[in-house]
């Protein structure tokens, strides 16, 4: 119900966003065509969502990638809530494992991380539901996987590529959620026996394995793009540590892959960088209404619920 109320607030704001000067030239048809041409998995999300206006409301004509990674991310949350299932990258769905809502609160791992907006939004109490419910960390992991996958596809298309000397934060969101899930598993193995037993139950383990495997693949695909993150290396190093890797191994049934190529140093432009956990969002008229699933209260970072 709380998600629905947030959606209703957003829906009321959509007409105003569509009539703003930033969308006066209406780049939305071209944005969808761009997904069709270079990011078919992002297009699949647009095709799957019942409320196309919701998706289109996140498009930002003033942004180089037109806000498409954000639109995909938010729509993944919408679809997840509507269907009670995670839409998977590459097709298919996984029913949400509601039993994980009884596991320990993810806020208990917040102290493992240096303070940043991702931690504040997703792990600190009072922001997103992911701070109290592991189900929504999985929701965010899936949404950021779709998000980064779209950003990578667009960046590899010449017309939508970011300037090579410009530091952006597309990789940060998925790196953060992978770190949160991995360190959650580590704590479960070390000191939360009920949660640890639950994480290894077949339905839960399959869900974690499917979502983690897709996140690994997308993260690795982004490593060759320079200046694609601002906090990514620190977060990747955390989930590549022995403890989190060992815990994940026991859940997913194989050794997790550390994206070491993403840890290589790349040139960074000497300029101020917006490091808010928006993954790929930049402030714009079409992104002023920030409610709904998977994004914190408001939508500084992308939070769930």
Report the pLDDT value the prediction gives residue 217, as an integer from 0 to 100: 97
pLDDT tens figures, 214-247:
999 999 999 989 889 899 999 999 999 999 999 9
Q: What is the pLDDT of residue 264?
A: 86
For 112-157, how does the pLDDT look when each residue is reduced to its tens digit (9 = 90+)?
999 999 999 999 998 899 999 999 999 999 999 999 999 999 998 8
Say what the pTM is: 0.81
Calculate what percentage of the chain has a pLDDT beyond 70.
76
* 161 pLDDT more than 90: no
pLDDT on residue 200: 98
Q: What is the pLDDT of residue 94?
A: 97
Per-residue pLDDT for 280 more than 80?
no
Q: What is the DSSP letter of 101?
A: G
* pLDDT computed for residue 25 by the predictor: 73
Residues 91-108 pLDDT 10s: 999 999 999 999 999 999
Predicted confidence band at 169 (pLDDT cuts at 50, 70, 90)? confident
Stronger pLDDT, 71 or 158, i.e. the higher one? 71
In the chain the first and final C-alpha atoms are separated, in Å, by 10
What local confidence, expressed as pLDDT, does residue 298 receive?
A: 29
Cβ atoms within 10 Å, residue 33:
11
pLDDT reported for residue 238: 97
Mean pLDDT on 285-296: 35
Nearest Cα to Cα of residue 34 among 159, 170, 218, 144: 159
**160 compared with 209, residue with greater pLDDT:** 209
- Where along the chain do its domains lie? 2-287
Query: Which of 159-163, 164-168, 285-289 shows the lowest per-residue confidence on average (mean pLDDT)?
Result: 285-289
Average pLDDT over every residue of 261-268: 73
Query: With contact defined as beta carbons under 8 Å apart, do 143 and 73 qualify?
Result: yes
For range 75-98, the mean pLDDT: 98
Q: Which of 1-10, 139-148, 159-168 has the highest mean pLDDT?
A: 139-148
Q: Where are the alpha helices (DSSP H) in the chain?
A: 2-18, 28-38, 40-48, 52-56, 68-83, 117-122, 134-155, 172-191, 193-199, 202-222, 232-239, 242-252
């Amino acid at each position: 119900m709380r998600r629905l109320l947030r959606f209703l607030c957003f829906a009321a704001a959509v007409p105003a966003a569509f009539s703003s000067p930033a969308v006066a030239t209406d780049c939305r048809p071209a944005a969808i065509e761009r997904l069709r041409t270079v990011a078919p998995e992002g297009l699949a999300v647009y095709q799957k969502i019942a409320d196309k206006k919701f998706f289109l409301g996140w498009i930002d004509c003033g942004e180089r990638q037109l806000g498409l990674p954000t639109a995909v991310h938010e729509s993944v949350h919408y679809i997840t809530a509507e269907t009670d299932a995670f839409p998977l990258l590459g097709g298919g769905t996984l029913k949400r494992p509601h039993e994980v809502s009884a596991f320990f609160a993810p806020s208990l791992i917040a102290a493992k991380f240096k303070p940043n907006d991702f931690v504040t939004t997703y792990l600190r109490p009072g922001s997103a539901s992911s701070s109290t419910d592991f189900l929504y960390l999985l929701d965010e992991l899936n949404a950021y996987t779709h998000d980064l996958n779209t950003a990578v596809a667009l960046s590899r298309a010449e017309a939508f590529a970011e300037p090579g000397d410009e530091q952006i934060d597309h990789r940060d969101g998925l790196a953060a959620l992978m770190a949160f899930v991995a360190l959650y598993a580590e704590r479960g193995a070390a000191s939360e026996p009920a949660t640890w037993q639950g994480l290894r139950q077949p339905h839960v383990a399959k869900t974690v394995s499917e979502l983690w495997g897709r996140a690994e693949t997308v993260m690795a695909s982004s490593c060759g793009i320079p200046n694609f993150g601002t906090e990514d290396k620190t977060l990747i190093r955390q989930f590549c540590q022995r403890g989190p890797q060992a815990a994940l191994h026991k859940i997913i049934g194989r050794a997790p892959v550390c994206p070491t190529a993403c840890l290589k140093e790349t040139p960074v432009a000497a300029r101020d960088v917006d490091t808010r956990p928006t993954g790929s969002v930049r402030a714009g008229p079409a992104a002023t209404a920030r409610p709904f699933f998977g994004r914190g209260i408001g939508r500084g970072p992308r939070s769930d619920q």
